[in-house]
Amino acid sequence: MLPDKASVLDAADRIAPYIHRTPVLTCSTINRMFGGEIFFKCENFQKAGAFKSRGATNAVFLLGTDETRNGVATHSSGNHAGALALAASRRGITANIVMPENSSRIKIKAVESYGGLITLCKPTLDAREETLKEVISKTGAVEIHPYNDFRIIAGQATAAKELIEEVNDLRQIMAPVGGGGLLSGTALSARYFGNHIRVIAAEPAGADDAFRSFTSGTFIPSVDPRTIADGLRTSLGSLTFPIIMENVDDIVTVSEEGIIEAMRLIWERMKIIVEPSSAVPLAAIIENKLNISGKRTGIILSGGNVDLANLPFNTTV
């Protein structure tokens, strides 16, 4: 059932002992550059380094004792994998993780450090899903989908809920979109806890299935996505797509150059580490895809799991 306001409030209480209430930061230099007030919800400081800990923790701790007997399983390019492995370890159960073979090295290491059992597969959605079926058949584990799960969406919604509680008079909230779990949760929280807050998603132009689905009103799957934002290479789900269609105001796309410029700006001016997916909303502002002049705008920085040995910009002086 679609998460209602009570479900999001329950999720917030359920996960509170296990996650961070992440800070909201501002940057006067960035505000001056774009003529508005931007409030960054820093999920890069979250447990396991990304907002995914919210949904994974909510889903794992909603499971009954009988359901946890054989552990949990999922497919993920990285952040949900790490989050689920950590949540499972907190519950004392096994996490079986299917990861594409081209997943970030740092994200694979994180899953291993949390005790997740990794099975690598080819970097396609079909391969991920087929490999997961095989793993579940062998283990009997319960699937926790990265985003197409109402328990996950309710957990992700708590990030925007906290942002709205902390920042008065927000006019719009931006989030990146891949599978749509964060965006769906953000849109629901804006509806439940906000006051006429617009919700805008940003997506890489090289992985623009959500943009095309939104503008056409028809689900279009992701095929051969090409973007540095590895967390946004997935398709929308059967649960997230209708939530987005009903509750999101707009989806815009950005270039790879814009993502890198935004990522570098956050690193240099805010002195915090974010991964490419996190930088996509700010890239939309840099590329004039969204007017923030005179508006109080929230941006959810989705995560900070980046391979420091493989940065997309030259950090030498």
Q: Are 96 and 139 in contact (CB under 8 A)?
A: yes
Q: Are 210 and 185 in contact (CB under 8 A)?
A: no
The C-alpha angle with vertex 241 and arms to 208 and 292, in degrees rounded to 5, equals: 60
CA 129, chain centre distance (Å): 19
* CA distances to 39, 196, 222, 244, 295 from 170, in Å: 9, 9, 32, 20, 8
What pLDDT does 39 receive?
98
Distance CA 115, CA 125 (A): 24
Percentages helix, strand, coil for the chain (3-state, rounded to 5) are 50, 15, 35
Distance CA 253, CA 66 (A): 44
What pLDDT does 148 receive?
95
What pLDDT does 271 receive?
97
State the amino acid at position 71 in one-letter form: G
Residue closest to 97 by CA, chosen among 164, 113, 201: 113
Q: In which residue are the tokens 């906000």 written?
A: 194
What pLDDT does 107 receive?
83
What pLDDT does 316 receive?
45
CA 161, chain centre distance (Å): 15
What pLDDT does 314 receive?
65
Q: Are 60 and 91 in contact (CB under 8 A)?
A: yes
What pLDDT does 234 receive?
86
Token pair, residue 260, equals 């890198």
Token pair, residue 39, equals 């409030």
Block mean pLDDT (10 aa), the chain, length 317: 96 98 98 97 97 98 96 92 97 96 86 96 88 97 96 98 97 97 98 97 97 96 89 92 98 98 98 97 97 95 90 66
